[in-house]
């Protein structure tokens, strides 16, 4: 199978969906003539024109809200918010409007909106351009939250998100755009279902559940653990909401040990949610406490040494896996 | 569009419908039959009815937390709206939205909104959608003088002007912003000056003259439909009641509302006089409309009260499509 870049996989998904459905439109800062700061939207403007591919002013609340209104009235907008940090500016539109419309209007409204954005640290963008805010959105009923880790998942999930009738927060990672991976040839049929986890590496000794770029770190950790005789299974939920808990439970029933990895801050984060759910659903299967690997509870610092210390790492995942196996005693 | 006699009397009926709907809402609220909070539109009926009379059925509006009037003016069903206020399964939102979330997508009512200024970007998006689909629909975005201070207006208004979207930003200057007079919180002398920030034309109209509102809206709607872009419209009116039902109104002179309730200023009385003096209607015609509205609302309240509460499984319905 061909190998393509994560960014190109996303770009292909947008081209294919815009060609398939005239209701799909794209809005955001620099997404048109410039092709997007990450070049994910390149070529769309030339092909589909300025109305369907709207370059917007720097007005995150405004263009996100416009996309919500457009979604309620027959379009399927894909909005690009350049950094997830900036989505804070559009919070009312996402949380109070998009997420609630269907429920509070008694099921009559449909908000088929995709908000594409990117998060994560690791490249010295400092505190306002490095956050992992996925759990803000996971907390809101009515939203779907997706974080693809591979080019194949990026393409297949973006296409599914565009076809979904719910508001979807689609979170890419700034350090994944230049990664490559196998993706089927272009065509309408490469769809990855929302809400289905993927076993990225099968194993029998310990389950590592990781999201977004942490999947790549978990796979590296698994290789190193294998060299020491520990066979780790790496599961990527791919969709944080709805979460494929049964897939995680099935793995825990096999391994009895669980490490949850997420790049967001530890407190109130994804790993706590996974731990709470698994202990309730699979308490008898656990042979050790659920281990959590997450960012320190600090704003992300600019300095590289400090940033590295704040974020999860391969070493931290390995240490957590060993702790789950009581190898640290 | 020329308004014939039947249409004019229908407008009169609709104004009374709004007046009595909110009177009913207030009564039910004070009797502890409504939950949460409710906001009445009393005194502003001329704005909603005037503006919506200039719209087609498939045109869109966005409303506010003070939204009963807008929804009724756009054709909303008073029975299902009252059932919604009463939290019943027959409500327009199945009892899950309440007073602040009335919506009827079949009538282009994209929702009242619990967030002050919450409809502004949504309305702009509906206009973008209408423009992209080439549907010929226009949007009227209702908001108040209080909401005119929300930053989202700056963002959405700029884009609407840049993209020549078919939308009317209709600012109802009812002189109050929640529990304060609005004036001390607005830096410009006249609200329409805010439109200058977008290079957008602005008109100001007497919001208590329903025919003036209709005529002004008709003109700017025609402009929008022709592809000539958005307009900022200010309708000067007065919020006769408090921010919410039960508001002690300690922040305004006691006799002020009395002045606006007088026949000289009340929008329904004013319209009635014009109907008699300029359009050959009789007092009996007007009274018939008033009584019809009274009966409609009595019936709506009875319907709501007789309707069942939602069943518990409804709790989990319609969270997702």
The total domain count for chain B is: 1
At B220-245, the pLDDT tens digits run 999 999 999 999 999 999 999 999 99
Q: Is residue A48 part of a domain?
A: yes
Please check the confidence at residue B77 and state whether its pLDDT lies above 90: yes
Specify whether A160 is located in the same domain as A215.
no
Question: Inter-chain contact B122–A75, Cβ cutoff 8 Å?
Answer: no
**What pLDDT, on the 0 to 100 scale, is given for residue B252?**
95
Active-site residue flag, A60: yes
| End-of-domain residue from the set A182, A209, A235 | A182
Structure ipTM over 0.95, yes or no: yes
Strand spans (E) along chain A: 3-5, 24-28, 53-55, 76-81, 114-119, 144-146, 168-173, 180-182, 198-201, 206-210, 232-236, 239-241, 258-265, 291-295
Stretch A273-292: mean pLDDT: 98
Coil, helix or strand at residue B171 = strand
Domain termination residue (choose one: A153, A182, A211): A182
At A329, the pLDDT band (50, 70, 90 cuts) reads confident
Tell me if A208 sits within 8 A of A180, measured CB to CB. no
Q: Which residues of B touch A166 (CB under 8 A)?
A: 320-321
Nearest-CA distance A18 → chain B (Å):
14
Residue B293 lies in a domain: yes
Residue B308 lies in a domain: no
Residues of chain A contacting residue B104, judged by C-beta atoms under 8 Å apart: 108
Distance CA B29, CA B23 (A): 10
Percent of chain B with pLDDT over 90: 99
Q: Is residue B229 part of a domain?
A: yes
Tens-place pLDDT, residues B27-73? 999 999 999 999 999 999 999 999 999 999 999 999 999 999 999 99
Please provide residue B44's backbone torsions phi and psi, each rounded to the nearest 5 degrees.
Answer: -110, 10
Rounded to the nearest angstrom, the minimum Cα separation between A103 and chain B is 5
Separation between Cα atoms, residue A125 and residue B61, nearest integer Å:
42
Percent of chain A whose predicted confidence (pLDDT) is above 70: 100
Residues A266 and A309 in one domain: yes
Write the CATH number for A74: 3.40.50.970
Q: Tokens 């919604």 map to which residue?
A: B84
Q: What percent of chain A has pLDDT over 90?
A: 98
Q: What is the mean pLDDT of chain A?
A: 97
CATH number at residue B167: 3.40.50.970
Domain assignment of residue A32, yes or no: yes
In angstroms, the CA A71 to CA B145 distance is: 27
Beta-sheet pairing, A180-182 with A258-265:
unpaired
With 90 as the cut, is the pLDDT of residue B283 above it? yes
A272 shares a domain with A164:
no
Residues A226 and A305 in one domain: yes
Does residue A276 fall inside a structural domain?
Answer: yes
pLDDT of residue B10: 98
Can you tell me the distance from the alpha carbon of B220 to that of B139, in angstroms, rounded to the nearest whole number?
11
Segment B179-186 mean pLDDT: 96
pLDDT, tens digit, 9 for 90 and up, residues A51-80: 999 999 999 999 999 999 999 999 999 999
Tell me, what's the pLDDT at A137? 98
Q: For position A198, what pLDDT does the model report?
A: 98
Tell me how close the Cα of A99 comes to any Cα of chain B, in angstroms: 8
Confidence of residue A134 (pLDDT cuts 50, 70, 90): very high
Q: Is the domain of A13 the same as that of A150?
A: yes
> CA dist B37 to B26, B40, B112, B247, B306, Å?
10, 10, 14, 11, 22
Domain that holds residue B287: 5-303
Q: Each residue of B137-175: pLDDT tens digit?
A: 999 999 999 999 999 999 999 999 999 999 999 999 999
∠ Cα A185 A186 A187 (to 5°): 115
Tokens of A284: 């008898």
Report, in angstroms and rounded to the nearest whole number, the Rg of chain B calculated over CA atoms. Answer: 19
Which chain B residues contact residue A96 at CB under 8 A? 114-115, 118
Confirm whether A188 is domain-assigned: no
A59: nearest CA in chain B? B155
Check CB contact under 8 Å for B129 and A165. Answer: no
B158·A62 Cβ contact <8 A: yes
Q: Are A209 and A235 within one domain?
A: yes
Question: pLDDT-based confidence at A188, cuts 50/70/90?
Answer: confident
Taking one residue from A and the other from B, the number of pairs with CB-CB distance under 8 angstroms is: 144
Q: How many domains does chain A fold into?
A: 2
CA–CA gap between residue A127 and residue A234 (Å, rounded): 29
Instruction: Report the distance separating Cα B119 and Cα A93, nearest Å.
Output: 10
Residue A288 inside a domain? The answer is yes
CATH code of the domain containing A218 = 3.40.50.920
The number of residues in chain B equals 321
Segment B103-117 shows an average pLDDT of 97
Q: How far, in Å, CA of B165 to CA of B156, rounded?
A: 10
Same domain assignment for residues A11 and A148: yes
Q: Does B318 reside within a domain?
A: no
- Say whether both A296 and A209 belong to one domain: yes
Q: Residue A329: inside a domain, yes or no?
A: no
**Integer Cα distance of A234 and B243 in angstroms:** 55
Subunit contact B159:A52, Cβ cutoff 8 A? no
Q: Which two tokens stand for residue A210?
A: 């990781």
Per the CB < 8 A criterion, the answer to whether A254 and A215 are in contact is no
Instruction: Return the pLDDT at A328.
Output: 81
Position B91 scores a pLDDT of 98
How many Cβ atoms sit within 10 Å of the Cβ of residue B320?
A: 16
For residue A191, being part of any structural domain is answered with no
Q: Answer yes or no: do A24 and A127 share one domain.
A: yes
pLDDT of A91 strictly over 80: yes
Query: What's the CA gap between A324 and B34, in Å, rounded?
Result: 54
Residue A166: band (very low, low, confident or very high) from pLDDT cuts 50, 70, 90 = very high
Contact A316, A325 (CB under 8 A): no
Q: What is the pTM of this model?
A: 0.97
Boundary (domain end) residue, out of A182, A215, A245: A182
- The partner residues of A79 in beta bridges, in order of sequence, read A27, A115
Q: Do B103 and A96 touch (CB under 8 A)?
A: no
Tokens of B77: 């069903």
**Do A68 and A174 reside in the same domain of the chain?**
yes
Residue A214: which domain range?
Answer: 198-324
Average pLDDT over residues B271-296: 97
- SS3 for A162? helix
Q: Does the pLDDT value for residue A233 go beyond 90?
A: yes
**B1 has a pLDDT exceeding 80:** no
pLDDT at B2 (0 to 100): 76
Query: Can you tell me the distance from the alpha carbon of A233 to that of A320, in angstroms, rounded to the nearest whole number?
Result: 14
Q: What is the mean pLDDT of chain B?
A: 97
Q: Same domain, yes or no, for A218 and A96?
A: no
Distance CA B187, CA B194 (A): 10
Dihedral Cα B122, B123, B128, B134, nearest 10 deg: 130
At residue B262, φ and ψ (nearest 5 deg) are -65, 155
Residue A202 has pLDDT above 80, yes or no: yes
């Amino acid at each position: 199978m061909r190998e393509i870049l994560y960014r190109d996989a996303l770009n292909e998904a947008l081209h294919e969906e815009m060609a398939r459905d005239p209701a799909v439109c794209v809005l955001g800062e620099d997404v048109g003539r410039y092709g997007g700061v990450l070049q994910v939207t390149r070529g769309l403007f030339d092909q589909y024109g300025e109305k369907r591919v709207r370059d917007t002013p720097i007005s995150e609340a405004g263009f996100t809200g416009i996309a919500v209104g457009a979604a309620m009235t027959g379009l399927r907008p894909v909005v690009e918010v350049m950094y997830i940090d900036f989505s804070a500016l559009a919070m009312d539109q996402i949380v109070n409007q998009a997420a609630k419309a269907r429920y509070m209007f008694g099921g009559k409204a449909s908000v088929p909106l995709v908000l594409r954005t990117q998060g994560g640290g690791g490249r010295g963008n400092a505190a306002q351009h490095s956050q992992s805010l996925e759990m803000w959105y996971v907390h809101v009923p009515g939203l779907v939250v997706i974080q693809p880790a591979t080019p194949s998942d990026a393409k297949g999930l973006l296409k599914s998100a565009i076809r979904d009738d719910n508001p979807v927060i689609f979170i890419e990672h700034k350090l994944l755009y230049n990664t490559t991976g196998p993706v089927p040839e272009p065509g309408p049929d490469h769809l990855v279902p929302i809400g289905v986890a993927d076993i990225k590496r099968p194993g029998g000794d310990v389950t590592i559940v990781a999201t977004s770029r942490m999947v790549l770190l978990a796979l590296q950790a698994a290789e190193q653990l294998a060299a020491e005789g520990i066979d780790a299974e790496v599961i990527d939920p791919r969709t944080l909401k709805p979460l494929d808990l049964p897939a995680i439970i099935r793995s825990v029933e096999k391994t009895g040990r669980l490490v949850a990895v997420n790049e967001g801050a530890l407190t109130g984060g994804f790993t706590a949610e996974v731990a709470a759910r698994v202990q309730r659903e699979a308490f008898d299967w656990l042979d050790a406490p659920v281990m959590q690997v997450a960012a320190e509870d600090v704003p992300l610092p600019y300095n590289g040494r400090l940033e590295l210390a704040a974020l999860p790492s391969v070493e931290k995942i390995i240490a957590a896996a060993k702790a789950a196996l009581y190898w640290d005693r | 569009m020329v308004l014939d006699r039947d249409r004019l009397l229908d407008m009169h009926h609709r104004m009374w419908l709004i007046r009595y709907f909110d009177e009913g809402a207030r009564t039910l609220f004070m009797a502890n039959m409504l939950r949460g909070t409710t906001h009445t539109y009393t005194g502003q009926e001329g704005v909603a009815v005037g503006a919506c009379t200039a719209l087609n059925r498939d045109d869109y509006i966005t409303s506010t937390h003070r939204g009963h009037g807008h929804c009724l003016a756009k054709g909303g069903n008073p029975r299902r709206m009252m059932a919604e206020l009463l939290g019943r399964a027959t409500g327009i939102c199945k009892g899950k939205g309440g007073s602040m979330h009335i919506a009827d997508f079949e009538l282009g009512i994209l929702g009242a909104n619990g967030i002050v200024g919450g409809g502004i970007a949504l309305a702009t998006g509906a206009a973008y959608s209408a423009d992209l689909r080439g549907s010929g629909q226009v949007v009227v975005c209702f908001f108040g003088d209080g909401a005119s201070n929300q930053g989202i207006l700056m963002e959405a208004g700029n884009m609407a002007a840049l993209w020549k979207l078919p939308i009317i930003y209709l600012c109802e200057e009812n002189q109050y912003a929640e529990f304060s007079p609005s004036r001390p919180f607005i830096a410009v002398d006249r609200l329409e000056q805010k439109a200058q920030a977008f290079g957008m034309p602005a008109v100001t109209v007497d919001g208590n003259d329903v025919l003036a509102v209709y005529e002004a809206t008709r003109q700017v709607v025609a402009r929008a439909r022709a592809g000539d872009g958005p307009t900022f419209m200010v309708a000067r009116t007065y919020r006769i009641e408090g921010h919410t039902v039960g508001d002690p109104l300690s922040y305004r002179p006691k006799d002020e509302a009395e002045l606006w309730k007088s026949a000289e200023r009340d929008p329904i009385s004013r319209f009635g006089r014009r109907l008699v003096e300029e359009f050959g209607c009789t007092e009996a015609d007007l009274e018939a409309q008033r009584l019809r509205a009274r009966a409609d609302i009595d019936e709506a309240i009875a319907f709501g009260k007789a309707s069942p509460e939602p069943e518990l499984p409804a709790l989990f319905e319609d969270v997702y499509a």
